[in-house]
Every structure is written in structure tokens, then in C-alpha cells.
């Protein structure tokens, strides 16, 4: 019970910190308790479906890149790329010689979505794979975490912003005596 109280107190502190960090779009702190906002079951499913379509849009280059651009709001941002034309160009030129209807590279999982007062935020893990097209083994090219903001438009949920943070391990404290894991 003491642990539970401590955990609740911490959660409140974290929630306060998140509220403070909310002005910084790149700093997603998707904890259990983001204050404000609610999402219906339909909202969660529609956002999940939006996120899952991202990979197909970028890998297939469908509709000359506009299928990708149209997953974003008109002023939507991926990294430093903003706006429909720039996003479509990005989708067309990513893996330019390789993309197509049967091309699979962007594998996403660990999809988390949280309501905010303005819509929703979420994150996923990316594993970018070079999938075998013959005898050559498949390989893991890179990966990281996407941090997103979503808004509900007249056409449905869309990415307002999306940022990829490449995977980086932290540095263990120099004095740390790390115990062996039981796993």
C-alpha cells in the first residue's frame, strides 16, 4: 500500500511535468496520465489505422507520394519536412529505386496513443528492415522511436507532427555496480 501511494504521488508529479513539457512538440512524455482530453474507442482505432498506414504509404510510394502526404494535416510536419508537396516529395524519394506495392521496410510496433486537450499524442517503435528478395539474408538497417501529435480533421485523424528519434543507448553511470539479470 505504501508503494502504491508512492507510485500515485510520483504519477501526479510526472503528470505535472508532462503538462509543463506539453509546449515542446518534440518532447513527448507519453506517461499514463496526460491531463485532459478523452478519446473514444473509435478514435483509438482510427488513430491506430492511421499509424499502420504510414508504413504502406512510405514503402509503396502510392499515388506518387501523395498517399503519404495526405496522412498529415495540410501544415503537417515530419522531422524538418513540412507541407503536402514537400511530404509527397519525401515519400517519392525515400528508397527511390526500390519502393513499390510489394516493398516492405518500415515495421512498426509498440503503438501507444494518449488523449490530450487538443487531440492525441502517441509513439511507436520502428525497425527498418532490408527484407530479402532472394537468397540474400534479411537485415536490420536501423530503428528508433516515432513521437507523434494527431488531430481530428473533417476527413478523419491525421498526423500534425511526427518525429523520428534514432535508437541510441544511454551511458551507464561510471560507478554503477550493475547486478546480473535474472532474465
Partner 1 sequence: MRNTILAVAVGVGLFSLAAVQGQQSGSGSPEVMALTAMDYIQIKQLVNRYAFALDTGSRNGYDYADLFSADGVFDSNSRGRIQGRDQLAALARGGKKGPLHVNHYIMNHIIEPTADGAVGRQYLINISHDDIIPQGRGNQPPNQWDLVGQKRGSLDTVGGHYEDVYTKTAEGWRFRYRKLVPSKSGPDPTRTGMLKMHPVKPDRTDTMPAVPGGLSAMDYIEIERLVASYGHALDNGYGTADNGEPYAGLYTADATFGQSTGHAQLAALGREQPQGPHYVRHYLTNHVIEPFAGQAIGKQYLVVVDLPEPDARAKGTPGTVFLGGHYEDVYQKTADGWRIRTRRLFRAQSSQPAK
Q: Which of residues 145-174 bind partner 1 (CB under 8 A)?
A: 145, 147, 156, 165-172
Taking the least distance from each CB to partner 1, the nearer of 58 and 77 is 58
Question: Measured from the CB of residue 126, what is the shortest distance to partner 1 in angstroms?
Answer: 8
Helix/strand/coil for 34: coil
User: Among the candidate windows 9-17, 74-82, 83-91, which touches partner 1 by CB under 8 A?
Assistant: 9-17
Query: Of 99, 65, 103, 98, which is closest to residue 84 (Cα–Cα)?
Result: 65
> Cα angle vertex 146, ends 144, 152, to 5°?
170
- Check binding of 121 to partner 1 (CB under 8 A): no
Residue 108 · residue 54 · CB < 8 Å: yes
User: 135 is written with which cell numbers?
Assistant: 537468397
Taking the least distance from each CB to partner 1, the nearer of 74 and 141 is 141
Residue 130 · residue 104 · CB < 8 Å: no
Q: What gap in Å lies between CA 150 and CA 123, rounded to an integer?
A: 11
- Check binding of 138 to partner 1 (CB under 8 A): yes
Residue 151 · residue 118 · CB < 8 Å: yes
Question: Measured from the CB of residue 118, what is the shortest distance to partner 1 in angstroms?
Answer: 19
- Check binding of 90 to partner 1 (CB under 8 A): no
- Residues 29-68, interacting with partner 1 (CB under 8 A): 29-32, 40-42, 44-46, 48-50, 52-53, 55-57, 59-63, 67
Question: Measured from the CB of residue 4, what is the shortest distance to partner 1 in angstroms?
Answer: 4
Amino acid at each position: 500500500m505504501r508503494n502504491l501511494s508512492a507510485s500515485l504521488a510520483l504519477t501526479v508529479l510526472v503528470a505535472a511535468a508532462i503538462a509543463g513539457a506539453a509546449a515542446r512538440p518534440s518532447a513527448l512524455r507519453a506517461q499514463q496520465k496526460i491531463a485532459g482530453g478523452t478519446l473514444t474507442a473509435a478514435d483509438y482505432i482510427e488513430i491506430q489505422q492511421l499509424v499502420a498506414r504510414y508504413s504502406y504509404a512510405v514503402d509503396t510510394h502510392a499515388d506518387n507520394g501523395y498517399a503519404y502526404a495526405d496522412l498529415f494535416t495540410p501544415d503537417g510536419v515530419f522531422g524538418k519536412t513540412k507541407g503536402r508537396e514537400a511530404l509527397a516529395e519525401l515519400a517519392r524519394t525515400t528508397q527511390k529505386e526500390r519502393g513499390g506495392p510489394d516493398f516492405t521496410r518500415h515495421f512498426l510496433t509498440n503503438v501507444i496513443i494518449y488523449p490530450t486537450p487538443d487531440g492525441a499524442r502517441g509513439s511507436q517503435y520502428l525497425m527498418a528492415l532490408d527484407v530479402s528478395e532472394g537468397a540474400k539474408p534479411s537485415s536490420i538497417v536501423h530503428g528508433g522511436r516515432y513521437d507523434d501529435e494527431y488531430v481530428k480533421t473533417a476527413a478523419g485523424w491525421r498526423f500534425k507532427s511526427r518525429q523520428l528519434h534514432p535508437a541510441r543507448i544511454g551511458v551507464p553511470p561510471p560507478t554503477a555496480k550493475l547486478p546480473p539479470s535474472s532474465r
